[in-house]
Amino acid sequence: DVKVTQSSRYLVKRTGEKVFLECVQDMDHENMFWYRQDPGLGLRLIYFSYDVKMKEKGDIPEGYSVSREKKERFSLILESASTNQTSMYLCASSFSPNYGYTFGSGTRLTVV
């Protein structure tokens, strides 16, 4: 089974801090995605990547950046964390966009 591992289950950061959320997948998938999930808003796509060093903006990229230096690793960066970035962050990977996504367990980030 494909495994997607997110480095932290819970994080608490202060406003203005630079935050790194790490995601690693073990099945050689080309495609990786970062979503955030908020009550009543569902999952919203932040960034995605189809290849190493490649990235594309999703629906809500403002305040975020990403890095994909290796195929298996896709990092989400909050350059200067703000309280409105308190959320559940979910990483996913897939063989292709036409296949089901495999999600990690999520990182619940609280910015205080």
**Shortest Cβ distance from residue 9 to other proteins (Å)?**
9
Q: CB of residue 4 vs other proteins: minimum separation in angstroms?
A: 8
Residue nearer to other proteins on the CB measure, 37 or 67: 37
Asked if 110 and 51 count as a contact pair (C-beta separation under 8 A), the reply is: no
Task: Tell me if 15 contacts other proteins by CB under 8 A.
Answer: no
- In this structure, are residues 48 and 34 in contact, taking their beta carbons and an 8 Å threshold? yes
**Minimum separation from the CB atom of position 44 to other proteins (A):** 8
- What does the per-residue mask of binding to other proteins show for 21-60, with x meaning CB under 8 A? ------------x-x----xxxx-x--x-x-----x-xx-
Q: Shortest gap between Cβ of 13 and other proteins (angstroms)? A: 19
Q: Which residues of 1-19 are buried (b: 16+ CB within 10 A; e: fewer)?
A: eeebebeeeebebeeeeeb
Beta-strand runs (E) in 14-59 = 19-21, 23-25, 31-38, 42-49, 56-57
What would you measure as the largest C-alpha separation in the chain, in angstroms? Answer: 38
* Residues near other proteins (CB under 8 A): 4, 33, 35, 40-43, 45, 48, 50, 56, 58-59, 90, 92, 97-106, 108
